[in-house]
Structure 1
Amino acid sequence: MANIPTEKAPKPGLNIYGFDSPNPAKCRIMAEKLGISYNYVNLNPGIGEFKANWYVGSVNPNGKVPAIVHVKEDGTSVTVWESAACLLYMAHEFDKDNKFSYSVGMPEYWSQMSWLSWQISGYGAMMGQAAHFNRYAPSPEEGATSRFVAGDRMTVADFAVFIFAHSAKWCGIDINEFPHVKAWHDTLAQRPAIQKAPQVPGPFPFGDEAVSKTEGPELEFLRGIRKVGTQGIKAAHDEWKKKVVPVPSDWANYEEEAPPASDKPQV
């Protein structure tokens, strides 16, 4: 931790590292619902602070957000990264009464784990891809019921799914086309803690209401973040010069006979 800038160094207690995006908001929602104090360390994505040597070397080797650093009373600390791992750690450490989680081994626990895993591997990933192509890519390309996600009460799985449903329009999706999802979203959105969490450290800029504004600082922010995102994606695309390694099953999806290997295009 010695190389972390003083203003970014973890303080005693729970520290959440992130910036304005859905995944860090999951952790803020969890902390607010648990009613625990936390230090939110806001990183600057515009200068790539989440890729800085101090962050990658001391907080998250994957260079992503969120990450948490829990500095305990005895001076020891635990660092966790990836949103699902952060949520489960927070449930283990701060939700001893299982208000928003289930005890390990219960059938409901595994249901919670299934939905949480679905969120991080399927729903969240696809929403991220939708935002990538619909909002950041230089050239856009074509091509639940009212009960809670993990059972009959709110759990960490709901927190993880909610913030992406809350950002549906930014991903190019009209949540109103899915009335059951909309009703579930609106039920959670009425909870004071879930209303508060997206306001840390400032108003969440990707919610449907925020992205629909035609003027004001929100619009200017979104224009700026899209410009930065588009430039970053284009730079990464231009840098990728490798060819796809061929395998024997190539061309199996074509009805016509595959051309000789020497005639196959190198992509």
Structure 2
Amino acid sequence: MLTLYGDRQSGNCYKPRLLMELRGIPYRWVEMNVPGGETRTPAFLAKNPNGRVPLLEVEPGVHLAESNAMLCWLAEGTPWMPEDRLQRAFVMQWLFFEQYSHEPYIATSRYWLHYLKQPEEYRARLDEKRPGGYAALGVMEGELSKRDWFAGGRYTIADIALYAYTHVAHEGGFDLSAYPAVRAWLDRVAAQPGHVPMV
């Protein structure tokens, strides 16, 4: 059985968990106390030298790190990863966008506000994150105003990756009222059979 080490409040940990739930893949969840240092112990660092979750144990002694890498592995051979070469590349395009242009702004802001609950300490840095986060939402709005899903003409891991932190963007101080296409897409994702909430 697969084992997923994670934190239930983390969008990155939610991504592989959501896909395994959608696929009906049995797995064992191991909750990690990240603030308490559980990912920095020698035992955990032996599994993932980067000391982060999520971490997926795919077989005894074999561990896969990075949430989007997990999505690719878990989706291989399923409708969540297109077979067509170009459509697969479009999925990857959005996975890279999520990590480079979306997660650093929206997820980081949420971490400071919702997870650490330190708005005053991070006020200046939060203000710096706002333009990048809204720029990412603007790109998403433009894409979703033309189509229902990000790649392949259907719900794929590109949508799962972007949903994880977008649906809780308000917890990072982002207002989605000006993004109707994004909000409609969030509803479509949540309505998928087998969908489970993050927490």
Same fold by TM-score greater than 0.5: yes
Q: How does 1:249-260 map to 2 (within 5 A)?
A: none
Unpaired runs of at least 5, structure 2 = 129-140
Q: How many angstroms apart in 1 are the aligned matches of 2:163 and 2:93? A: 16
Contact 1:149 1:158 in 2 (8 A): yes
User: In the alignment, what sits opposite 1:119?
Assistant: 98
Does 1 or 2 have the higher relative contact order (CA < 8 Å, sep 6+)? 2
User: In the alignment, what sits opposite 1:169?
Assistant: 170
Give the letter for the 1:90 counterpart: L
Q: How many angstroms apart in 1 are the aligned matches of 2:186 and 2:149? A: 10
Greater mean alpha carbon deviation, residues 23-32 or residues 169-178: 169-178
- Determine whether 1:140 maps to 2:119: no
Q: How many angstroms apart in 1 are the aligned matches of 2:61 and 2:19? A: 20
User: In the alignment, what sits opposite 1:101?
Assistant: 81
Deviation for aligned residue 1:132: 4.8
Q: State the secondary structure of the residue aligned to 1:159.
A: helix
Q: Deviations over 1:34-89 (max 9, x none)?
A: 111111111112411111211111x2111111110012xxxx55311011111112
Q: State the secondary structure of the residue aligned to 1:86.
A: helix
- Determine whether 1:38 maps to 2:39: no
Q: State the secondary structure of the residue aligned to 1:115.
A: helix
User: In the alignment, what sits opposite 1:253?
Assistant: none
Alpha-carbon spacing, 1:130–1:139, altered in 2? closer, same or farther (3 Å): closer
Contact 1:18 1:43 in 2 (8 A): yes
Number of residues paired by the alignment?
Answer: 176
Unpaired runs of at least 5, structure 1 = 1-12, 199-203, 205-267
- TM-score, length basis structure 2: 0.81
Large movers: runs of 4+ above 3 Å: 132-137
Q: State the secondary structure of the residue aligned to 2:164.
A: helix
Alpha-carbon spacing, 1:174–1:70, altered in 2? closer, same or farther (3 Å): same
User: In the alignment, what sits opposite 2:74?
Assistant: 90
User: In the alignment, what sits opposite 1:185?
Assistant: 186
- Report which of the two structures shows the higher radius of gyration computed on alpha carbons: 1
Contact 2:107 2:169 in 1 (8 A): no
